[in-house]
């Protein structure tokens, strides 16, 4: 284990099992619908690529890049720094995210796609951190409920590092204190 990690919360086996379950539900729901899958970069890239490989329906992938976070605290502003390139009008949209924290990012992105005329919008997140929610937003499905700690791994970073860890863990406080 990486020495900056206090504790492993969800390992690859646990994540695989939940991703199988989440994908099974999507596979029933979206057959024949040809949705646009929107991974929210960079954090969702690992989770989304694992999820997408499990999907059996026709789909297109259009990443989006948004940021509302610097260091370990949310700034409250959501900025789209790379937008989707195709028209979402009348298409179902499935966002894939690493973690829902304050809820601001996915609330803003969901509202935007509804404004653009998406047929439906759903949000799938690897983790949900409900204790720190500040806007009224809940993902349609999530892998695991996360405690109010700073987590890294499986796409989650601290200043760009630790995304490659094949598990989700709690970062030791001495790393960011």
Instruction: Please identify every residue annotated as catalytic.
Output: 101
- Specify the stretch interacting with ligand IMP by CB under 6 A; choose among 54-62, 84-92, 99-107, 113-121: 99-107
Using rule CB under 6 A, residue 103 touches ligand IMP:
yes
Cβ-Cβ contacts under 8 Å for 130 (sequence gap 6 or more): 145
How far is it, in rounded angstroms, from Cα 107 to Cα 89? 18
Cα angle value 96/97/98 (rounded, 5°): 135
- To which residue do tokens 């057959």 refer? 31
CB of 67 to ligand IMP, least distance (A): 8
Residue reference for tokens 């863990």: 169
33 binds ligand IMP (CB under 6 A): no
Residue of 46, 96, 104, 139 that binds ligand IMP (CB under 6 A): 104
Indicate whether 43 belongs to the interface with ligand IMP (CB under 6 A). Answer: yes
Q: Does 110 bind ligand IMP (CB under 6 A)?
A: no
| From 38, 105, 109, 124, residue interacting with ligand IMP (rule: CB under 6 A) | 105
Specify the DSSP element, H or E, that contains 28.
helix 12-30
- Give the residues lining the site for Mg ion (CB under 5 A): 43
Q: Which is nearer to ligand IMP, 91 or 107 (CB)?
A: 107
Q: Is 174 exposed, middle or buried, given 0-12, 13-18 or 19+ CB atoms closer than 10 A?
A: exposed
3-state helix, strand, coil in the chain (%, to 5): 25, 35, 35
Tell me which stretch binds ligand IMP (CB under 6 A): 29-37, 48-56, 82-90, 98-106. 98-106
């Amino acid at each position: 284990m990486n020495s900056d990690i206090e504790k492993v919360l969800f390992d690859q086996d646990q994540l695989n099992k939940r991703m199988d379950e989440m994908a099974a539900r999507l596979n029933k729901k979206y057959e024949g619908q040809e949705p646009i899958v929107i991974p929210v970069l960079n954090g969702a890239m690992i989770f989304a690529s694992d999820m997408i490989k499990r999907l059996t329906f026709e789909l297109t992938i259009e990443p989006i890049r948004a940021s509302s976070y610097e260091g370990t605290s949310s700034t409250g502003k959501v900025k789209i720094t790379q937008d989707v390139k195709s028209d979402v009008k009348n298409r179902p949209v499935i966002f894939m995210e690493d973690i829902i924290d304050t809820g601001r990012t996915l609330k803003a992105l969901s509202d935007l796609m509804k404004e653009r005329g998406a047929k439906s919008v759903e949000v799938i997140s690897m983790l949900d951190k409900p204790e720190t929610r500040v806007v009224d937003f809940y993902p349609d499905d999530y892998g695991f409920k996360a405690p109010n700690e700073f987590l890294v791994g499986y796409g989650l970073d601290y200043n760009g590092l630790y995304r490659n860890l094949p598990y989700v863990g709690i970062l030791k406080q001495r790393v960011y204190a």
